[in-house]
Chain A
């Protein structure tokens, strides 16, 4: 049993070391992905398909100006908060 615990501790140590090394190597993190098997040319990452510009978010429909928030009625200046 104690030998298995030693193995578990060593495995966790290796995992911590590997993740620490990865963090050091990744540096500022430019989003590069490590590809290490075979000689095939590496494609772009799956979540970065092509060079097309990103579309607008789905909840931004059309180019109309955003309406005032529901709790901001009228154009009067906002009063100070009640607890100040």
Chain B
């Protein structure tokens, strides 16, 4: 069973997730960034359900384990869709939304197919292996896409401060988890510490997005000199 510190971090993360939605409604950008807010709302609901299942069945129970990993996969798909909505925001001025959506659907299908091909040799728990594999592969696709989006923001000289903050924080979030994953794989002895850090890292994204919705006006613009200049 997790200790008081783990529960405190978990509760803090839940509060931050709820505050993202509240700040977005207060800042009148809930509908503009609807997929992001839906992801945060789903994440908060997932936390409540995980909390309930954890208390009812226990930390190492099958119920908690399966619910944790299946909900994680659904949340990763939701995060992927939220990232695609940020792509749509950036490429809307170019009139390339339909190509972005087509590419996103193709990439999601390709990732699912690749995940299936990887785990098809598994004889037991095929669906569970598929769900976890898809979640992880989609996570790395999201990581690469975030950096592609950041490159596009630089290239197109996007100046909407709120949008830039959202994309930047997403890139840092993905990178932190990838670094954590790498440390756990490359240095297994420090794995327990890295796993303990996961909870703290999970608070970063809701915190950064809550800050973006709370502090930055939806009309705020960055001065072009604040962005790296890349010749068109």
Contacts and interface: CB of A to CB of B under 8 A. Distances in A.
A and B: real partners?
yes
Interface of A: 3-4, 7-8, 10-12, 14-15, 17-19, 21-22, 25-30, 32-47, 49-50
Interface string B109-131: 01100100000000011001100
17 contacts: A14-B144, A15-B114, A17-B144, A27-B185, A28-B185, A34-B177, A37-B43, A38-B75, A38-B202, A39-B13, A39-B14, A40-B50, A43-B60, A43-B65, A44-B60, A47-B124, A47-B125
A35 B72 contact: yes
B68 A30 contact: no
B181 A34 contact: yes
Given A28-B186, A41-B10, A15 B195 contact: no
A19 B66 contact: no
Interface in B148-178: 148, 173-174, 177-178
Q: Which of A17, A21, A41, A46 has the most CB of B within 10 A?
A: A41
B65 A40 contact: no
A40 B51 contact: yes
Interface stretch (B18-26, B28-36, B135-143, B223-231): B135-143
Interface of B: 2, 6, 9-14, 17, 43, 46-47, 50-51, 54, 59-60, 62, 64-66, 68-69, 71-72, 75-76, 79, 99, 102-103, 106-107, 110-111, 114, 124-125, 128-129, 132, 135-137, 139-141, 143-145, 148, 173-174, 177-178, 181-182, 184-186, 188, 191, 195, 198-199, 202-203
B43 A35 contact: no
Given A35-B198, A36-B72, A49-B65, A14 B148 contact: yes
Contact of B9 (A10, A37, A39): A39
Given A30-B188, A30-B191, A50-B60, A22 B132 contact: no
Given A30-B188, A40-B47, A44-B65, A4 B182 contact: no
A8 B99 CA distance: 10
A37 B70 CA distance: 11
A84 B18 CA distance: 77
